[in-house]
Amino acid sequence: MDFDLESYVAGMLKDIRERGIEAVREYSKKFDNYDGPFRVTEEEFEEAVERIPEKDREIIVRTVERLWEYHERQMERERLFLKNGSLYGLIYRPIRRIGIYVPGGKPLPSTLMMVAVPAKIAGVKEIAVTIPPKEGKVNPYVLYVAELLGIDEVYKLGGVQAIGAMAYGVGMEKVDKIFGPGNKFVNEAKRQVFGVVGIDSLAGPSEIAVIADKTAEKDYVLADLLSQLEHGKDSKAWLLTTSKELADYCSRDGIEVVLCESLEECAEKANEIAPEHLEIITERPMELVDLIENAGAIYLGPYTPVPAADYFLGVNHVLPTGGAAKFSGVLTVRDFLKPISIAQVSREEFLAERELGLRLAEIEGMVFHRRSMEVRK
Ligand SMILES: NC(=O)c1ccc[n+]([C@@H]2O[C@H](COP(=O)([O-])OP(=O)(O)OC[C@H]3O[C@@H](n4cnc5c(N)ncnc54)[C@H](O)[C@@H]3O)[C@@H](O)[C@H]2O)c1
Ligand SMILES: N[C@H](CO)Cc1c[nH]c[nH+]1
Ligand SMILES: [Zn+2]
């Protein structure tokens, strides 16, 4: 019988809801060989941070600066307008408390930067971070990034138990929204807790698709395809090409190669896949962009490989996978903000336009709705 991921994860989440910290402890022991205490102490922070060489601190600070510069342009401002003496618009408020899941199979400090920077720009006040421990410890680079960004609430928790703990408030205060990518267990757990908390997107195992023609440097294309397969056995790589030579060169384990008649056909295939990342390495890459409907991120030309975007370009690397790019997109500052509609209507406009509301209330059979509008003089 096939493994049923949905019921497997549902069972774990139910257990965490019902038995709380005991269940979290047992799953953590089983999958990460650690049963607490879960919150990273001040001493552990200090010890880890001291271990980071000066050169690496500089690398991290410069990377954070690049991310900050890119993301601060996304900050939403109030959008208000006046019409007939009335005020209308949207105002924005940050989510109060969020959880960030940092993947830990290969610990990814870069992912903490990718989520925490836009969260800080948006003005999120409280951030709890979870990461699976290794031998009871958290990766020191993750703790350094946390400290640099003013985050002191870090938990040694991974997988479904981390998502359950953040969503149901087990061993910590419940969060309002969970961010961050993870493996198929993490991704499914996020999908299932949606509604109890918000989630950013279904950011699961990494993927890359490359559209390339005969002008592409073969070694660049192959290296890029292999880069995302490095994330793990669930990762995927597709080459969509019009070049038979390139197709043969990249025919390796784990890479799905599709030989197409034209670049338009490559674009069509890319839209069907809706990959997390789409590289276009062709003679005139920009010409294909108009044909792309579904992709988490599009990187053009020979000098925009996915790993550069994973680390230092400044763009965000938290992206939808598994076809979710058909209905969602890259993580942005907006994901940390709640738009609130606002209006203050003038008497003149209200009286002039209320017949619309009165009749619509009648159509819907809403007597008290009608009354609320009618009663005003
Ligand atoms: N889409 C994106 O934006 C993006 C960004 C970065 C990383 N990623 C992806 O994140 C993933 C990280 O995966 P990872 O495995 O390295 O780390 P992870 O932290 O997501 O998963 C590790 C956890 O999975 C749990 N787990 C492992 N086996 C289990 C089992 N059989 N049953 C229940 N729980 C189990 C354990 O608790 C462990 O702590 C990779 O697939 C990577 O490609 C995606
Ligand atoms: N490629 C990942 C997004 O799918 C992000 C990442 C982090 N570290 C290395 N790569
Ligand atoms: Zn990567």
Residue 83: CATH number of its domain: 3.40.50.1980
Q: What is the mean pLDDT of residues 58-80?
A: 97
Residue at 341 is within a domain: no
pLDDT band with cut points at 50, 70 and 90 for residue 2: confident
CB of 68 closer than 8 Å to CB of 149 = no
The whole-angstrom separation of Cα 105 and Cα 181 is 12
364 marked ligand binding residue: yes
Statement to judge: residues 136 and 29 lie in one domain = yes
* Per-residue pLDDT tens digits for 229-248: 999 999 999 999 999 999 99
Let me know if 277 is a catalytic residue: yes
Q: Are residues 194 and 213 in the same domain?
A: no
Are 114 and 215 in a shared domain?
Answer: no
| Gap between the Cα atoms of 213 and 222, Å rounded | 13
Confirm whether 333 is domain-assigned: no
State yes or no: is 353 an active-site residue: no
**Cis peptide, bond prior to residue 339, ω within 30 of zero:** no
Q: What is the CA radius of gyration of the chain?
A: 24
**Chain CA centroid to CA 55, Å:** 29
Both 184 and 310 in one domain: the answer is: no
| Ligand 1 centre distance from Cα of residue 105 (Å) | 6
Per DSSP bridges, beta strands 177-179 and 97-101 are: parallel
- Pocket perturbation via mutation, ligand 1, pick of 183, 187, 310 by most ligand atoms within 8 A of CB: 183
Residue 294 lies in a domain: yes
The full length of the chain comes to: 377
Helix (H, G, I), strand (E, B) or coil at 309: helix
Pick the catalytic residue from 276, 287, 293, 353. Answer: 276
pLDDT-derived band at 12, boundaries 50, 70, 90: very high
The widest CA-to-CA distance across the chain, in whole angstroms, is 78
Together in a domain, 102 and 149: yes
Q: Which of 148, 172, 201 is the last residue of a domain?
A: 201
What are the structure tokens assigned to 264, written together? 């338009």
- The residue out of 184, 201, 218 marking a domain boundary is 201
Reduce the DSSP state of residue 4 to 3 states and report it: coil
Partner residues linked to 209 by β-bridges: 238, 278
In a domain, 335, yes or no: no
- The 10 Å Cβ neighbour count of residue 250 is 23
pLDDT value at residue 299? 98
For residue 97, what is the enclosing H or E element? strand 97-101
Question: For the complex shown, is ipTM > 0.90?
Answer: yes
The answer to whether residues 39 and 156 belong to one domain is yes
Q: Are residues 258 and 147 in the same domain?
A: no
The Cα-based distances of 234 to 132, 195, 218, 229, 341 in angstroms read 19, 27, 24, 8, 41
In this predicted structure, the answer to whether residue 162 has a pLDDT above a threshold of 70 is yes
Same-domain check for residues 186 and 258: no
Residue 340 domain flag: no
What digits encode the pLDDT tens for the residues 323-362? Answer: 999 999 999 999 999 999 999 999 999 999 999 999 999 9
Vertex 182 angle, CA 179 and 184, to 5°:
125
**Domain range for residue 264?**
207-326
Nearest-5° Cα angle at 140, 134 to 146: 115
- Looking at every residue in the chain, the average pLDDT score rounds to 97
Domain boundary among 182, 201, 220: 201
119 pLDDT band, cuts 50/70/90, is very high
Query: Are residues 65 and 106 both part of a single domain?
Result: yes
d(CA 187, CA 333): 21
Residues 6+ apart with CB under 8 A from 82: 88
Number of domains in the chain: 3
pLDDT, tens digit, 9 for 90 and up, residues 178-229: 999 999 999 999 999 999 999 999 999 999 999 999 999 999 999 999 999 9
High-pLDDT (> 90) share of the chain, %: 99
